[in-house]
Structure 1
Amino acid sequence: MGRYVARRLLQMIPVFIGATLLIFLMMYSLPGDPVRALWGEQSVDEAQIAAMKKDLGLDLPLWQQYWNYLIGLFQGDFGTQIASQRPVADVIADALPVTVRLALFAFTFTVLVGITLGVIAGLWADTLLDRGMLIFTLLLISVPSFVLGYLAQFVFAFKLGWLTPTVRDSENFSELAMPAIVLASLSLAYVVRLTRTSIVENMRSDYIRTATAKGLPRRRVVGVHLLRNSMIPVVTFLGTDLGALLSGAVITEGIFNIQGVGNTVFQALIRREGSTVVGIVTLLVIIYLCASLIVDLLYAVLDPRIRYV
């Protein structure tokens, strides 16, 4: 197990460098000058712009800028925001907890509701309940998140008055309920379908027929044997989905006025704040890599036949 973890950690290095280099090159290849944009249409001294670029290191060749970014990253320095001159680490520290609360709320909702509905649909496959579940998940997959968000606002906030249309206090979980469910809707649909398909396939397996023939209670057959082996593809999806929820909150945070990572990335893209975007994406890449490693290690817990050497 230790050798496997060490190999996976070594494999993360080129993936991390490749991902950060790609987003770094994409951001700094965009047209326009973010330093000059600070003055808008006003005239400004070119010497002042050149001095500011030198202070930020933007006058260096692109490869050297990336190298300096990596060196600073290993020292905990994510760079400096151009407009506010704030460290990007401070910007992330302000926005990340909000998005983490939203993403964890959405993730918990996805796991509890998605797996439950998937198990129900799988145990009663080819029934009216199963067909209704498939139609419901297809509808969630087909409807864009911004449509679902505005629809939820219209129905539950403006018509019924059950919830607030926007989030005023990000620490209030009751206000985060509606945006979290909207954010989790697509993931919920996939989890229901994955769980349902895996349950149906494993119901036909020999070990399930053997456990049933031995007279084991149905609760034990389903809860221990069937569910445990059916969770491997679901855990694979959920491991990457946590990172997707963190990075995919741009639209949801915009609709519900949540000042999190998604809104910060959107504003940074408008202002062409490359350091902010690269810093946030770097953090998300680290989360993705760690989640992928944890998922691989969970395989051995779910299926004892899996061994790592």
Structure 2
Amino acid sequence: MGRYVARRLLQMIPVFLGSTMLVFAMMYVLPGDPVRALAGEQTVDPAQIAAMKKDLGLDLPFWHQYWNYLVGLFQGDFGTEIASGRPVSETIADAFPITIRLALFAFVFTVLVGISIGVFAGLKADTLRDRGLLVLTLLLISVPSFVLGFLAQYFFAHQLGWVDPNVSAEANWGELLLPAVVLGSLSLAYVARLTRTSIAENLRADYMRTAVAKGLPRRRVIGVHLMRNSMIPVVTFLGTDLGALLGGAVVTEGIFNVQGVGRAVFGALQHREGATVVGIVTLIVIVYLVTSLLVDLLYAVLDPRIRYA
């Protein structure tokens, strides 16, 4: 197991470098000059602009800038915002915890509700409740997240008055309930469908008939034998879904005025603050890599036949 983990950690290095280099290159080739934009419509001496670029290292070639970013990153330095002079690490420290809470709330909602209704429908496949689940999940998949967000905000906040339409700066758990439901709705639909299909297929497997023939209690047959084997594809999806929730929070945070990573990225793109965008994306990439490793290790827990030498 230790050798497998070490090998996977080594495999993460080129993935990490490639993904961060791609994002860094995209910000590098964006049109516009962030230093020149600071002056707005005022006339600025080109020598002053050149001097500022030299101080910020923006006059260096792409490879040199990327190398400087990596060196600073491994020293805990994510760079500095051009407009405000504020360290990017402070921006991330203010925004990331809020998005983490929102994503974790949405993730828990997806796991609990998605798996529950998937099992509920899969145990009685091709019945009315199974068809109702398929229709509901198809509706959630078809409706864009921004449409669902505005509808939820209109009905639950403006019409019924159950929640506030916008999230305050504190972003407590109660205020994040509705944004989390909207953020996790698409993932919930996929989890429910995966669970339903996996449960229905494994119910017809030979080991299930053997467990029933041995006279095992129904609770043990379903809770141990059926669930453990049916959860492998679901866990695979959930392992990458946490990173997707972090990245997909941009639209949801904009609708509900959540002061998280999504709004920070949107503002950074507007002002061409490349260091902020790359720093936030770097953290999301790390979340993806770590969760994918944890999912692979969890396979051995769910299926005893899987062993990592």
TM-score interval w.r.t. the shorter chain?
Answer: over 0.9
Q: Secondary structure at the match of 1:175?
A: coil
Counterpart residue number, 1:9: 9
Q: 1:43 Cα deviation (Å)?
A: 1.1
Q: 1:54 Cα deviation (Å)?
A: 1.2
What is the correspondence of 1:119-158 to structure 2 with a 5 Å cutoff? 119-158=119-158
The Cα offsets for residues 22-60 of structure 1, whole Å up to 9 and x where unpaired, read as 111111101100111111111112222112111111011
Q: 1:169 Cα deviation (Å)?
A: 4.3
Counterpart residue number, 2:274: 274
Counterpart residue number, 1:259: 259
What is the correspondence of 1:53-64 to structure 2 with a 5 Å cutoff? 53-64=53-64
Q: Is the 8 A contact 1:169 1:175 kept in 2?
A: no
**What amino acid does structure 2 have at the position aligned with 1:98?**
I
The Cα offsets for residues 204-238 of structure 1, whole Å up to 9 and x where unpaired, read as 11111000111111111000000011111101100
| Residue 95 of structure 1 pairs with residue 104 of structure 2 | no
Counterpart residue number, 1:194: 194
| Residue 225 of structure 1 pairs with residue 231 of structure 2 | no
**What amino acid does structure 2 have at the position aligned with 1:145?**
S
**What amino acid does structure 2 have at the position aligned with 1:162?**
W
**What amino acid does structure 1 have at the position aligned with 2:295?**
V
Q: Is the 8 A contact 1:27 1:274 kept in 2?
A: yes
| Residue 285 of structure 1 pairs with residue 273 of structure 2 | no
When the two structures are superposed, what TM-score results if normalisation uses the length of structure 2? 0.99
Please give the alpha-carbon distance, in whole angstroms, between the structure 1 residues aligned to 2:5 and 2:295: 12
Q: 1:170 to 1:136 in 2, by over 3 A?
A: farther
Q: 1:228 to 1:170 in 2, by over 3 A?
A: farther
Please give the alpha-carbon distance, in whole angstroms, between the structure 1 residues aligned to 2:26 and 2:201: 43
Q: What stretches of structure 1 of length at least 5 have no aligned partner?
A: none
Please give the alpha-carbon distance, in whole angstroms, between the structure 1 residues aligned to 2:52 and 2:212: 73
Please give the alpha-carbon distance, in whole angstroms, between the structure 2 residues aligned to 1:171 and 1:301: 36
Q: Secondary structure at the match of 2:38?
A: helix
Q: Secondary structure at the match of 1:35?
A: helix
Counterpart residue number, 1:305: 305
| Residue 241 of structure 1 pairs with residue 231 of structure 2 | no
Q: 1:124 Cα deviation (Å)?
A: 1.1
Q: Is the 8 A contact 1:208 1:225 kept in 2?
A: yes
Please give the alpha-carbon distance, in whole angstroms, between the structure 2 residues aligned to 1:22 and 1:169: 33
Q: Is the 8 A contact 1:249 1:262 kept in 2?
A: yes
Please give the alpha-carbon distance, in whole angstroms, between the structure 1 residues aligned to 2:185 and 2:39: 42
Q: Is the 8 A contact 1:170 1:176 kept in 2?
A: no
Please give the alpha-carbon distance, in whole angstroms, between the structure 2 residues aligned to 1:142 and 1:286: 30
Q: Is the 8 A contact 1:35 1:53 kept in 2?
A: yes
Q: Is the 8 A contact 2:169 2:259 kept in 1?
A: no
Q: Secondary structure at the match of 2:84?
A: coil
List 4+ stretches of structure 1 deviating above 3 A.
none
Please give the alpha-carbon distance, in whole angstroms, between the structure 1 residues aligned to 2:48 and 2:238: 49
What is the correspondence of 1:81-92 to structure 2 with a 5 Å cutoff? 81-92=81-92
Q: 1:171 Cα deviation (Å)?
A: 3.6
Please give the alpha-carbon distance, in whole angstroms, between the structure 1 residues aligned to 2:283 and 2:172: 25
Please give the alpha-carbon distance, in whole angstroms, between the structure 1 residues aligned to 2:89 and 2:249: 19
Q: What stretches of structure 2 of length at least 5 have no aligned partner?
A: none
Count of paired positions: 309
Counterpart residue number, 1:183: 183
Q: 1:80 to 1:169 in 2, by over 3 A?
A: closer
Counterpart residue number, 2:212: 212
Q: 1:87 Cα deviation (Å)?
A: 1.0
* Alignment root-mean-square deviation, CA: 0.8
Please give the alpha-carbon distance, in whole angstroms, between the structure 2 residues aligned to 1:269 and 1:234: 34
Please give the alpha-carbon distance, in whole angstroms, between the structure 1 residues aligned to 2:94 and 2:286: 18
